[in-house]
A and B are shown apart, each in its own frame.
Chain A
Amino acid sequence: QKEVEQDPGPLSVPEGAIVSLNCTYSNSAFQYFMWYRQYSRKGPELLMYTYSSGNKEDGRFTAQVDKSSKYISLFIRDSQPSDSATYLCAMSGPGNTPLVFGKGTRLSVIA
């Protein structure tokens, strides 16, 4: 079993739709949970950062972490064509332990 599992998609939705992206993980030591967005031929950029369980909202984006189920989600409301990118979940344990990434989900938002 991989440490972090993420459905690679691709996922195609119409503009304005609500998008749900998910990851599961197996390492119970993970405490920091992140979502990165990666446009084609660019490096990943941090979108959302959550510590431990709970929800975090930033504009159209909401990140949820359920440590009891080892499951994290990213919701995008009112999706826009500019949201078309690959979304990578990433997580790490305590201290300066390195991030472990999922495979990424490729999202296309169609105008």
Chain B
Amino acid sequence: EAGVAQSPRYKIIEKRQSVAFWCNPISGHATLYWYQQILGQGPKLLIQFQNNGVVDDSQLPKDRFSAERLKGVDSTLKIQPAKLEDSAVYLCASNYANTGELFFGEGSRLTVL
């Protein structure tokens, strides 16, 4: 079974530039999550999708972050404009609805200079 795929693995940008991350969850997983993991911290939820609907985006900084999950499969997370404090690893995870176990991708590491 293929795992959660993310790209790009690494990205370096200047502040105020934009960046987009892509995630392909495990086939059949209805729920998709984006987490932000700052160095030395645990993952923090940014947004949760159930199929192509948003379940929880209360911690998403909506003035600069946006996310979509078209057709209930792939998802894209965008940051525009980026700030220095956005430097982090962006983790995508998926699971079947109503189960606790999350399956994570390897993450997209963003450095903002």
Which residues of A line the B interface, CB within 8 A? 4, 6, 8, 32, 34, 41-46, 49, 88, 90, 92, 95-96, 98-104
Contacts and interface: CB of A to CB of B under 8 A. Distances in A.
B97 interface: yes
B21 interface: no
Contact of B98 (A34, A44, A46, A95): A95
B94 to A, nearest CB: 11
Contacts of A102: 42
Interface of B: 4, 31, 33, 40-45, 48, 50, 55-56, 91, 93, 97-98, 100-107, 109
B106 A42 contact: yes
A100 B4 CA distance: 20
Contacts of B4: 43
B106 A99 contact: no
A98 B91 contact: no
Residue among B31, B56, B91, B104 with most chain A CB within 10 A: B104
A101 B44 contact: yes
Contacts of B55: 96
13 contacts: A34-B100, A34-B101, A43-B107, A44-B43, A44-B91, A46-B103, A49-B101, A96-B50, A98-B45, A99-B100, A100-B45, A101-B43, A101-B44
A43 B14 CA distance: 25
Contacts of A42: 106-107
Nearest to B42: A101
A42 to B, nearest CB: 6
Residue among B42, B56, B102 with most chain A CB within 10 A: B42
A90 B98 CA distance: 16
